[in-house]
Amino acid sequence: MNTSGHAATDVRDDTAGLRLVPFRGLRYVPERVGSLAAVTSPPYDVVVRPDGLLHLESADPHNIVRLILPQAITAGTRHRKAAVTLDRWLADGVLAPDPVPALYVYEQRGDGILQRGIIGALELSAPEAGVVLPHEDVMPHVVEDRAALMRTTAANLEPLLLTYVGEEDGGGADAVIERATEREPLLSTTTEDGFCHRLWAVTDPAEQAAVAADLGRHQALIADGHHRWATYLRLREEHVAPGPWNYGLVLLVDTARHPLRVRAIHRLLNRLPVADALAAVEGSFRVRRLGGSLPEALEALASAAADGNAFLLAGDGAFHLLDRPDPALLDRTIRADRPEAWRTLDATVLHSTLLEHVWHVPDAPEDIAYIHDTEAAVDQAERRGGTAVLMHPVREEVVRDLARQGVTMPRKSTSFGPKPATGLVLRSLALD
């Protein structure tokens, strides 16, 4: 059995484990929408291109993007608009709560991947408890925005993606998941990316208890959703009495059985032209102009990354490979009080050395955008006259080891997937 997944190992005997509880899911009523695929969306932070947002909005008037990324002039207006929209969809019967609390088995199949996990409301815990392990830093302005949206809508609109390593005997939660997939699903839909999504409700108290007993022996790693997890924790602090704000919507995947893929998240430097970026690194990095296509340039990046830090710059119609940084520069710009694995991360070198000391790019959203799609990063850089910094993925064992040490990586260092589709099941705190 493959046990190389990127979740952490079992929790210590003296530490509480994961506590996942059922909830009454809010789901789209199929008869009230064009199709279930037309109302789904990728996670909010993946929808970064304006044309992508417009495409989702036009796919169906009830697409979930109108809740997770409402459009208005001010933040307060956006969040109130989402709350009003959610209330209207509930009143009109577009969304409806399931009759009884359930855990939800979720399956994604496509692109050679079969991923199964379980969705529920997870009891929140601080990082020092060692139950849910973050591995990336977060941006305060994003947490504030997500908190305001959750606070105003009183809803968890999309699940976080968490991973754990299950038992080798295949019992507990894994057995419940496998049994559920033998039944007729609550829903089945295929999204534009070719992935088929299926959802089942687990309402039997004995099966829910089996899941709880199994997960109670484990800890999990945040694979996707650090900002939403930080948001959950902030809102829990605002609601000190025990209640629904003590829980957050998550998808838990056993990566011993369903390993995730790790991809890079790229940077778009909106105000730094490629020519200026290249001039500033002269003498500090080896710089090579590459011919050929984007896939060929990414292959060259992967080859260079095998030997050390490497980055691919784009935005001027060409590709420029940066590698072999000056060791003296790294020693001077990277803090020494962190593990070697952290100090040698590409993301560490990018943020600590290049962005802060070489390029002097402010750590602000108007200066740096984070983009998952490689082609989109290059396209936006060319249109804006900026620089796309294309990254090579971090090895998952590095992520796991740093998380176990309690060391967080620079924000947006990794993209684990496939990510759950947003819109298949929501959690209203008013129903808990």
pLDDT in tens, 135-161: 888 889 999 999 999 999 999 999 999
Give SS3 for 239.
Answer: coil
Instruction: For residue 132, give the nearest of 240, 265, 248 by alpha carbon.
Output: 248
**Per-residue pLDDT tens over the stretch 256-301:** 898 888 889 999 999 999 999 999 999 999 999 998 999 999 999 9
pTM reported for the whole predicted model: 0.80
> Is pLDDT above 90 for 85?
yes
Instruction: For residue 333, give the nearest of 305, 352, 314 by alpha carbon.
Output: 352
Please state the φ and ψ torsions of residue 272, each to the nearest 5 degrees.
-120, 105
**Per-residue pLDDT tens over the stretch 392-407:** 998 877 887 888 788 8
**Per-residue pLDDT tens over the stretch 159-193:** 999 999 887 776 789 999 999 999 999 999 999 88
- The answer for residues whose C-beta is within 8 angstroms of residue 232's C-beta and 6 or more apart is 124, 156, 248
Tokens of 11: 């929790």
pLDDT of residue 14: 41
- Whether the CB-CB separation of 310 and 323 falls below 8 Å is answered with yes
Tokens of 299: 């292959």
Mean pLDDT of the residues in the chain: 90
> Is pLDDT above 80 for 323?
yes
Q: How many CB atoms lie within 10 A of CB 401?
A: 17
- How long is the chain? 432
Q: How many CB atoms lie within 10 A of CB 87?
A: 12
- Whether the CB-CB separation of 105 and 202 falls below 8 Å is answered with yes
- Confidence at 48, pLDDT banded by 50, 70, 90: low
Q: How many CB atoms lie within 10 A of CB 130?
A: 17
**Per-residue pLDDT tens over the stretch 191-249:** 988 999 999 999 999 999 999 999 999 999 899 899 999 999 999 999 987 899 999 99
- The answer for residues whose C-beta is within 8 angstroms of residue 265's C-beta and 6 or more apart is 370, 371, 372, 391, 412, 413, 414, 415
